[in-house]
Amino acid sequence: MRPARGAEQLVRRVAVAGRTVIVIDDGLATGATMVVALQAVRAQGPARLVCAVPVAAPDSLERVAALVDEIVCLATPRPFHSVGQHYLDFTFVTDDEVMGLLARPAASGAKASAPPSGSVQVLELNRAAQAAMPRGADLRMVPGATRLFEEPGALQQVAPMAADWFTPWLQPVHATLT
């Protein structure tokens, strides 16, 4: 991200102190980037810190698990060679593409139940991201949950939904013993 745009984003960030924060990545190979991200977020005092990834190297997952209150991971294949090998489409997305998607208005005709109070802006951003995804995007509301899933049982409801969505996109790895 260009320095000017990065500084712009720092100003817009939401305070995480006292909140549940979910840090998501496309997967963990070494886990180094996730470790740094989690340490930076933890220093800001979140009430709960959650890491969510679809696939991870087992040793990296252990290292990251020590830094969070909860970890959600769909697969930890052995041997683990790369994150990309577990995706059907692992096309690079630039910072500018992400910023463009976040800036787009919500797609007309997007359907979801009414969000809880305070979640309207997040829902609009999610709808815009969904409309821009090339295929397979799914937007669901968890009844009674706010955007941070802090309510008792909310994260337990959303985790299986995420797993159901990610599973078809991950490629099985056929391991051989050597």
Structural domain span for residue 30: 15-85
The answer as to whether 157 is a domain residue is no
What is the per-residue pLDDT across 98-134, written as a single tens digit (0 to 9) for each? Answer: 777 767 664 544 444 444 444 556 777 777 777 777 6
Q: The domain spanning residue 79 has which CATH number?
A: 3.40.50.2020
Q: Which of 61, 85, 109 is the last residue of a domain?
A: 85
Q: What average pLDDT score do residues 87-102 get?
A: 78
Does one domain contain both 45 and 103? no
The answer as to whether 167 is a domain residue is no
Does one domain contain both 112 and 52? no
pLDDT at position 168: 76
Does one domain contain both 24 and 72? yes
pLDDT over 50 at 67, yes or no: yes
Q: Across-strand partners of 170?
A: 87
Coarse DSSP helix, strand, coil percentages of the chain, rounded to the nearest 5 percent = 40, 15, 50
> Domain total for the chain?
2
